Chain A
C-alpha cells in the first residue's frame, strides 16, 4: 500500500501546483505547504477511494477555514468547561459571537469576487457531510436551546441589565448561605439549618421574586415568539438555589392545615348525599300516563308476545 500512497501524494501535489496556474512566484513559496496539504487531502481521498479529480482550496479559504476551526474549538471548550454549574451564556457569548462572525464571513463570500465565490462553495457545499455547516448548526442549536439571547443585550454584547442584577443577587444569597453555614459549628446536625433559613430569608425571597418577575416579563414580551424560558444560566442558578433552600436546608416548610381542608372537603362531599336523599324522599316521582293506541289484536302478534312472557 505504502508506495501507491506515496504516488498519490505526489500526484496531488503536482495537481495542486498546476491548478494554481499563473502566479508562479507564489507557487514556489507555497510549494511546501501545498505538499503538506496534499498529503492530508490524499489521506482523506484515499479513504474515500477517490484519488482523481483533486479539488483545490484557495489559501484565502484555507485561512477562513482554519479560523473557523479554531473558533469552534474554543467555543466547544468553553461550553464544555462551563457545563456544570451552567455558565454558558455568561462565559461563552464572546466565543459564540466570534464564531458567528467567522461563519458569516465564509458564507457571505458567496457573492463577492470569483475567488471567494469558490471559497464559500468549496467550504460549505462541496461535499455530502458539510462539516462546517454541521458544526455551525450544532452551535446555533445549542445556543437557541440554552436561550442565551434572553439574558444578553440586544446587540449580543454583554449581559443584559436584569441578568446582571439577578446574578448579583444570586451571588449575594450564595455568600449569605456560605457565611451562615460557616458561622455554625462544624459538627452541626444535618437538619439544623434554622440559622441559614432565618438570616438569608430576605435575600432568598428577593431572588425568588426577581426570578418570577423576569419570568412573567419574559412571558408577556415573548408572547409571539417561542421562547417561554429564561436563559439557562439564570434558570440553573435559580434551580440550584431553590434546591439548596428547600431540599438541603429544608427551609420552606409550608403550613399544612390538613384538618380544615378535610373538614371543608368532606362538608362539600356530604352535600350531594343530602341533596339526592332529600330529592328522593321529598320530590314527587315523575309518572307517565300510559296511552293505549287503537289496534287490531290478532293471533299472530299475541302469540309472538306471549312467547316472550312464557
Chain B
C-alpha cells in the first residue's frame, strides 16, 4: 500500500516532478523502504569492487552474531541519484496477495456456508465468464465500428482533397490537411492518456503480463483505464499512426473481467452487491486471465490462441477447470463479436468476421505449400528474428530516452502529435514519389488514390499507406501477384519499420501486433516476388503465402511469443496446415532474436523496473541462500499488541511494509519469541477502523463480531492509515491479532537456496515468506523484490538496485 494517496504511473514519469524541491523537504514520506528494512537504512551501497572487498573482509566472521555490528559500520551516505536505467527495481510496484489467509474468520465462514452455497459460487463463476466474453466482444465491436467509420470519413475527406488539388495544383495543402488531421486526432488521444490515465498507454500486454505474474500495477484494471484505453485506441488508429487495435483488446478484456468479477466499480462508486465472494486477489486473477484470453480471442478470432496466451504469459497457477472456463469465455467473446459484426455488416447469421483482424481465407490451391519450401520459410524466420531484434534494440534506446527526457505530459503529447504528422508526411511523400500505377478494374481497393496515375488507375503505394493498417495487411496477403512492384514494397517496408518502431512507446494506447504483421507482410511479399523472379515465375511462389510467413516471422521476432502466437496465427488464417511452417518460422525467429536482445514486452517490463518473476530462478544462483536474499531486521508485532504501536508502525512512512510476522506476546527468559502467524497491513487497517480492541470487547461495546465480509468490502483499495482516527485513549488499548492473523505462514530456514525460495514464491504466488532460525524465531523476510533483483545478465548473475521512481 505504498503511498496510497500519491498517484503513480506506469509510463515512468512522475506527476509531482515540478515540485521536486518541496518533495525533498519531506523526503521521508516519499521514500518508503522495503518490507523488513528498518527506518534507519539511509546508507547506500555501491557496487564497486573495493567496497565489496572491504565488506567481504569484515563479514569474514560468524554472521549470526555480527549482523548488527556490520550494519552500523556501513558508511552512511545520502541516497544517491542515478539516471534511469534498466537495472533497477521500482518501489512503486507491489505484490498481489494470492495466498489465502486461513484465519479463524475464514474457517468460520467456511463452516457457515454449506455445500450448496459452494455450488452456487461455482455457477457464478461460469456466469461471470460468460459476461466477460460477451462484454469483451461488444467492446471489440464498438472499437471496430467506430474506427471503420471515423477512418473512412478521414480518408474520404483527404482523398477528395487530393483529387481536387491534383487537377488544380497545390498538393502541399493536401499534405498539410492530412498531417493536421492526423496530428489533431492523435493529440486528443494522447491528451486523454497522458493527463487522465497514463497506465493506458501502449498495448497493455506488458501490464497484463505483470498483473498475471503477481505484480500490482497501480490503476491497471480500473474502469477509467478501460474507457481511456478504448477511446485512445480509436483515436490513435484513426489518427493514422502505425499502430493496431488488437493488443489493447487484451488489456480491455482484462479490465472488463476484473470489473465484472468484483460486482462493483470504484471509479463509478457503485457497488452492485453481487459476487462478493470473489473480492480477493486470487479470484480476481483467475478472472483477469479469462478476460485477457477473451481479449485475444476477440482481437484475432482465436479462442484457443487466447487460452494459450493466458497460459503462456500469465498463469503460474493453472488447473483444468480454470482452463475450461477461460476457454468458455474466449469462445463466447469471439462468437459475440462475430454475430454482432455480421448483423452490422448486413449479413446476419453469416458469422464471417470472428476477429477484429481477419486474415482472409488461405485455402485455395495456390496457397498450399510443399515440403521443399520449408527451408525457405526457416530462412524467413531468421530474417524476421534479425529484423525483430533490430526493432527491439532501436525501441530500447528510444524508450530509454523517453523515460529520461520526455517525462512531462505536455512533451509526451507533443511527441505523439509530431509522430502523427510525420507519419502522414512520410506517407504522402511516398505516394507522391511512387510511379507504381495499377488498374482499378478488378481490384478491391477501398480508397483508390489516383494522383499522377492515368485515369482509371490508382497509386499502388497508396493502398499500403493510405489505409488503416489492418486493411493493408489483408491487402498484402491477398492481392493478386503483380499488384505491387518490388520498389514500392521495399520502400514501404523500410519506412514503416522505422515509423512503427518510433511509434511504439508513445503515450497513446495502441498495439504493436498489426504494425509488425504489416512490416513482415511487406518484406515477405517482396521476398515472394523476388523468389518468383529467380525461379522464372513458378506457380508455387505465390507472394501472398510468403507475405503471411514474413508477417509471422516479423511478429515472432518482435514479441517472441511462441505457442500462443502460433495458434493465434493458425486460427486467424483458418488453415491448420499452416501450423507447421508458422511454428518453424516463429521458433527460428525467437531463437535468432533471443541471441541479440530479448522480446519487446519483456524489454518494456524491465525498463519500467517492475519486479517480475520469471519461470525459474537464474540458473547460477544455487549458492545464494535465503539468508543473503532476505531483508532484515523485520518489524514484528506481538500477538496482543498495543494499538499505539500498531498505529505508529503503520503510519511510519519510511517503512511501508505490508506484512508483519506476529510473534508470541511476552517471551520470558526461557521462551523465545517464536513466530505465530502473519498479518497484513490491510487487515490491520480494517481492525483499526472497526476498533476491535480487547478493552472494548470486554466492555461489550462491539456490537457484532468482525466477519470476513468486512475485509472484502474494503478490498481492493483499503483506506490509508492517515484516514483512520485513533484517539489518545484508544492508543493505550490492546489489540488481539490471533483471530485475524494467518496462523500458518510459509517459512523457510535460512539455509534454503534461492531457487528453492523462488519456486515457493512462483508456485504459490506468495507475497511474504518468513525466514526463521531453528528456534522458530523470525530472522528475515523475503519478498518479491528480494527475488526479482537477481537476474541473469550478459556476464552472469546480476543484482538490480532498488530505486524510488
Contact = CB atoms under 8 A, between A and B. Distances in A.
Interface of A: 208, 223-224, 228, 235, 238-239, 242-243, 245-247, 252, 254-258, 260-261, 263-265, 268-269, 271-272, 275-276, 279-280, 283, 285-310
Interface in B315-365: 346-347
Contacts of B172: 257, 260-261, 263-264
Contacts of B81: 287-290
Given A239-B456, A291-B79, A302 B56 contact: yes
Interface string B415-435: 100110110111011001000
Contact of A255 (B83, B167, B407): B167
B146 interface: no
B456 A293 contact: no
Interface in B149-179: 166-172, 175-176, 179
Contact of B803 (A290, A300, A302): A290
B616 to A, nearest CB: 18
Interface of B: 12-14, 31, 33-34, 36-38, 41-45, 47, 49, 52-53, 55-56, 59-60, 63, 67, 70-71, 79-84, 88, 91, 166-172, 175-176, 179, 346-347, 401, 403-408, 411, 414-415, 418-419, 421-422, 424-426, 428-429, 432, 439, 441, 444, 451-452, 454-456, 623-625, 627-633, 780, 785-786, 795-799, 801-805
Given A261-B172, A264-B172, A294-B37, A308 B79 contact: no
20 contacts: A238-B456, A239-B439, A242-B454, A243-B455, A256-B171, A268-B421, A272-B422, A276-B401, A279-B405, A286-B405, A286-B407, A290-B801, A291-B804, A292-B41, A293-B802, A296-B628, A298-B627, A300-B623, A304-B623, A309-B49
Given A265-B425, A265-B426, A305-B797, 13 more contacts: A208-B455, A254-B166, A254-B452, A275-B414, A275-B415, A283-B407, A289-B31, A291-B91, A292-B44, A292-B802, A293-B41, A298-B627, A299-B59
Contacts of B347: 224
Contacts of B780: 296
A289 B170 contact: no
A289 B79 contact: yes
Contacts of A296: 63, 67, 70, 627-628, 630, 632, 780
A247 B31 contact: no
Contacts of A257: 169-172
Nearest to A273: B418
Contact of B797 (A208, A223, A286, A304): A304
Contacts of B82: 287-288, 290
A291 B796 contact: no
Interface centre among A243, A271, A291 (most CB of B within 10 A): A291
B180 to A, nearest CB: 10
A86 to B, nearest CB: 11
Contacts of B415: 272, 275
Given A223-B346, A289-B79, A303-B56, A295 B632 contact: yes
Contact of A283 (B38, B406, B418, B805): B406
Contacts of A306: 49, 52-53, 56
B390 to A, nearest CB: 20
Contacts of B42: 292
Contact of A286 (B33, B44, B83, B455): B83
A255 B162 CA distance: 12
Given A243-B456, A291-B802, A300-B628, A269 B425 contact: yes
Contacts of B79: 289-292
B425 A308 contact: no
B346 A299 contact: no
B83 A261 contact: no
Contacts of B796: 307-308
A58 B798 CA distance: 93
Contacts of B36: 294
Contact of B432 (A242, A261, A283, A309): A261
Nearest to B432: A261
A310 B49 contact: yes
B475 to A, nearest CB: 15
Contacts of A264: 172, 175-176, 425
In the A-B complex, list the 5 residue pairs whose CB atoms are closest, starting with the nearest.
Answer: A255-B169, A242-B455, A260-B172, A246-B454, A242-B456
A106 B592 CA distance: 66
A297 B628 CA distance: 6
Contact of A291 (B33, B170, B798): B33
Nearest to B12: A286
Given A295-B630, A300-B624, A235 B441 contact: yes
Contacts of B171: 256-257, 260-261
Contacts of A279: 405-406, 411
A286 B13 contact: yes
Contacts of A309: 47, 49, 52
Nearest to B33: A291
A308 B630 CA distance: 21
B55 A297 contact: yes
A68 B786 CA distance: 87
A260 B174 CA distance: 11
B745 to A, nearest CB: 20
B454 A308 contact: no
A294 B41 contact: yes
A261 B408 contact: no
B621 to A, nearest CB: 8
B451 to A, nearest CB: 7
A305 B620 CA distance: 11
Contacts of A260: 170-172
Contact of A285 (B404, B426, B799): B404
A300 B63 CA distance: 12
Given A286-B13, A306-B52, A256 B452 contact: yes
Contacts of B41: 291-294
A210 B426 CA distance: 34
B404 A286 contact: yes
Contact of A299 (B60, B405, B629, B799): B60
Nearest to A208: B455
A268 B432 CA distance: 16
A223 B439 CA distance: 23
Contacts of B628: 295-298, 300-301
Nearest to B423: A268
A272 B415 CA distance: 8
A291 B79 CA distance: 6
A288 B17 CA distance: 12
B632 A292 contact: no
A247 B418 CA distance: 39
A247 B455 CA distance: 9
A255 B36 CA distance: 74
Contact of A294 (B71, B176, B404, B785): B71
Contact of B83 (A263, A287, A295): A287
B797 A308 contact: yes
B429 A302 contact: no
A265 B631 contact: no
A307 B171 CA distance: 64
A267 to B, nearest CB: 9
Contacts of A224: 346-347
Contacts of A307: 796
A178 B475 CA distance: 40
A182 to B, nearest CB: 23
A287 B405 CA distance: 10
A245 B41 CA distance: 84
A290 B53 contact: no
Contacts of B630: 295-296
A304 B407 CA distance: 36
B631 A275 contact: no
Given A239-B441, A287-B83, A305-B52, A293 B631 contact: yes
A291 B31 contact: yes
A286 B403 CA distance: 7
A293 B83 contact: no
A252 B455 contact: yes
